[in-house]
């Protein structure tokens, strides 16, 4: 992580330091601040970090930034005055990154970007010293904090970039200046904010705007919206996807209870990973494309795939003491990712019954009810044994499923406690249960109840 002097920081911010002290690391949160940190108080709509500067200093902060329009400045605390603390945080990250000998891999996408980030880290980590975005630090605050946490010995940084609107990834890409940029796919997430998949593609494609001049763009080649944008811009591009027109594509996929085996066009041996779902094979292809770009050997790639550890609540399979298998995919949901998870459940062998617990998918815009109904129809067509829905939007999942399934196989709930009670009494040893919804529905509570 960054270790510099306040004088250095002041020079980078075109300001002056009130004292020459050293700091190590940067924090925007007094709850997690560590001794020696530089505290950066962020001003938000409902909070003001300047209110906590004394607490930050008491908790060990070495120095602070101070936004010029904030009054009643605390005396005797080493500080730098800046026009805007958020902008200053981003400028510090950019200045620190410019002094490191590190290669940056940037990644975005509507679905699968965190899992793909974890996969890239596992593969590149077999050959290089790698750091990756921690948790969901992928926005205008998280990306600069990620960059400021890089060690001087890190060779490759994998930086996840999220967004909710146009212009956000433009900012992040120009902060991180990636040598390689990856787009996993274009889905329906953020339709409520952006209005169309075309606008989502524009927003995601902004990751190429900060790409280094000789950088490489790796993208889902089966997506026409990305193909169109690549055709209009001179880029060194590598594609992955399901179709043989891509540079990397699967030849066969075999799904097991706790792992996925697959073969691809570029390698003549079977690869195995402890991650479920054919859609994650496509994510693995993106990671393999990145790894091969940086000359990681096929033997190292095979080893890295075997050791993948993905961030929690993403197709995470656990078994209860009573013998019920639960697939926890409750971190987030979109129509594309939900259908992919349903496909996974349908492909699993050896279970008595296949049960879905599906909640509302949020931020889908004007056609949200139709999207929910399509998911229900998809589950019904696959003859899933039982479907439990939670939430007002998810009622339309039930409506779609009822076109194919008998009424006693589809259960609709508006109260989570009622859902938990019925499900807990209903599931039996040998069943597999998928739990999936948008993060705001907090369906991990259902997972915990079934596993208890």
Query: Domains in the chain, please, with CATH?
Result: 3-84 (3.40.1390.10), 100-306 (3.40.1190.10), 316-451 (3.90.190.20)
**DSSP character at residue 223:** -
The H-or-E segment that residue 411 falls in is strand 410-413
**Range from 63-77, 143-157, 175-189, 207-221 carrying the lowest mean pLDDT:** 63-77
Mean pLDDT, residues 31-35 taken together:
94
As beta bridge partners, residue 396 has none
Q: Per-residue pLDDT for 190 more than 80?
A: no
Predicted TM-score (pTM) above 0.75: yes
Q: Per-residue pLDDT for 206 more than 90?
A: yes
At residue 87, the pLDDT reads 97
At residue 395, the pLDDT reads 98
Q: Per-residue pLDDT for 46 more than 90?
A: no
Backbone angles phi, psi at 411, to 5 degrees: -125, 125
Nearest alpha-carbon partner for 216 in 78, 103, 51: 103
Query: What is the β-pairing status of strands 156-160 and 130-132?
Result: parallel
As beta bridge partners, residue 180 has 105, 216
With a pLDDT cut of 90, the percent of the chain lying above it is 89
396 versus 189: which is more confidently predicted? Answer: 396
The H-or-E segment that residue 57 falls in is helix 53-58
**Range from 3-12, 239-248, 315-324 carrying the lowest mean pLDDT:** 315-324
Residue 452 — pLDDT band, cuts 50, 70, 90?
confident
Residue 248 — pLDDT band, cuts 50, 70, 90?
very high
At residue 364, the pLDDT reads 93
At residue 73, the pLDDT reads 67
Is residue 74 within 8 A of residue 63, CB to CB? The reply is: no
DSSP per-residue string spanning 260-288: EEEEETTEEEEEEES---HHHHHHHHHHH
CB atoms within 10 A of CB 98: 9
pLDDT tens digits along 357-402: 999 999 898 899 999 999 999 999 999 999 999 999 999 999 999 9
pLDDT tens digits along 51-106: 999 999 999 999 999 999 987 666 688 999 999 999 999 999 999 999 999 999 99
Q: Per-residue pLDDT for 164 more than 90?
A: no
Nearest alpha-carbon partner for 336 in 162, 193, 187: 187
At residue 311, the pLDDT reads 83
At residue 250, the pLDDT reads 98
Q: Per-residue pLDDT for 189 more than 80?
A: no
In our burial notation (b when 16+ CB lie closer than 10 A, e otherwise), range 122-159 reads bbbbbbeebbbbeeebbbbbbbbbbbbbbeeebbbbbb
pLDDT tens digits along 91-120: 999 999 999 999 999 999 998 899 999 999
Nearest alpha-carbon partner for 434 in 369, 346, 304, 321: 346
DSSP per-residue string spanning 67-106: ETT--SPPTTS-EEEES-HHHHHHHHHHHHHHTS--EEEE
SS3 171: helix
Distance CA 421, CA 415 (A): 10
């Amino acid at each position: 992580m960054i270790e510099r002097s306040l004088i250095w920081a002041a020079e980078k911010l075109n300001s002056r330091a009130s004292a020459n002290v050293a700091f190590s690391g940067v924090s925007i949160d007094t709850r997690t601040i560590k001794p020696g940190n530089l505290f950066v108080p962020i001003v938000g709509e409902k909070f003001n970090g300047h209110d906590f500067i004394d607490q930050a200093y008491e908790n060990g902060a070495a120095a602070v930034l101070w936004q010029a329009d904030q009054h009643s400045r605390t005396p005797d605390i080493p500080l730098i005055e800046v026009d805007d603390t958020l902008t200053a945080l981003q400028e510090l990250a950019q200045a620190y990154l410019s002094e490191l000998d590190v290669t940056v891999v940037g990644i975005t996408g509507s679905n699968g970007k965190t899992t793909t980030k974890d996969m890239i880290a596992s593969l590149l980590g077999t050959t290089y010293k790698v750091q990756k975005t921690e948790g969901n630090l992928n926005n205008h605050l998280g990306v600069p904090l990620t960059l400021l946490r890089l060690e001087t010995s890190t060779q490759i940084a994998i930086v996840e970039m999220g967004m909710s609107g146009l212009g956000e990834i433009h900012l992040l890409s120009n902060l991180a200046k990636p040598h390689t940029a990856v787009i996993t796919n274009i889905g329906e997430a953020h339709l409520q904010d952006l209005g169309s998949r075309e606008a989502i593609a524009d927003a995601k494609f902004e990751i190429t705007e900060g790409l280094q001049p000789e950088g490489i763009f790796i993208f889902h080649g089966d997506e026409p919206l990305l193909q169109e944008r690549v055709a209009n811009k001179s880029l060194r591009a590598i594609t992955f996807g399901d179709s043989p027109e891509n540079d990397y594509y699967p030849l066969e996929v075999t799904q097991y209870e706790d792992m996925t085996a697959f073969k691809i066009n570029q390698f003549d041996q079977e690869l195995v990973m402890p991650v479920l779902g054919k859609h994650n094979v496509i994510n693995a292809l993106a990671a393999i494309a990145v790894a091969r770009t940086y000359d990681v050997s096929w033997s190292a790639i095979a080893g890295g795939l075997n050791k993948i550890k993905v961030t929690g609540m993403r197709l995470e399979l656990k078994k209860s003491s009573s013998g019920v298998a639960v697939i926890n995919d409750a971190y987030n949901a979109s129509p594309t990712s939900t259908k992919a998870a349903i496909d996974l459940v349908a492909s699993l062998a050896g279970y008595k019954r296949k049960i879905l617990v599906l909640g509302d998918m949020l931020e889908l815009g004007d056609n949200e009810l139709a999207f929910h109904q399509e998911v229900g129809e998809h589950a019904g067509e696959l003859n899933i044994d039982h479907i439990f829905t939670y939430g007002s939007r998810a009622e339309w999942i039930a409506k779609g499923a009822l076109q194919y399934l008998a009424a006693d196989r589809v259960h609709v709930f508006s109260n989570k406690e009622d859902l938990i009670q019925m499900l807990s009494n209903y599931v039996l040893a040998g069943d597999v249960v998928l739990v999936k919804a948008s993060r705001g529905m907090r369906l991990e509570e259902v997972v915990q109840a079934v596993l208890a």
